[in-house]
């Protein structure tokens, strides 16, 4: 294969082009506003298992198996 075939394959895929554009736009934000613009404050309560009451409800295993697998 030639180099041109590789480039055509990459840029012929709409999800790949969207990913490249998203990464470029996401990394061109100012550092001080980047966390707020990227929605990082929304994820803070979900970073730990006990951070939000919905986490425990969502991650419980059937048949009470979660007592054998404690949260980390």
pLDDT single digits (tens) 7-48: 998 889 999 999 999 888 878 877 777 777 777 777 777 777
44 and 64 part of one domain: yes
Which domain, by its residues, includes 26? 1-30
User: So what's the pLDDT on residue 52?
Assistant: 72
3-state secondary structure of 36: helix
25 and 43 part of one domain: no
Q: What average pLDDT does this structure show over 52-68? A: 76
Structure tokens at 19: 């990913």
Check: CB of residue 59 under 8 Å from CB of residue 66. yes
Q: What is the pTM of this model?
A: 0.41
49 and 70 part of one domain: yes
Structure tokens at 72: 């980390």
Structure tokens at 66: 């979660």
Number of domains in the chain: 2
């Amino acid at each position: 294969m030639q180099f041109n075939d590789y480039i055509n394959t990459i840029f012929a895929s709409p999800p790949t082009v969207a990913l490249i554009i998203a990464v470029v736009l996401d990394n061109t934000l100012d550092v001080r506003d980047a966390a707020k613009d990227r929605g990082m404050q929304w994820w803070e309560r979900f970073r730990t298992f006990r951070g939000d009451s919905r986490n425990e409800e969502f991650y419980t295993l059937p048949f009470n198996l979660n007592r054998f697998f404690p949260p980390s």
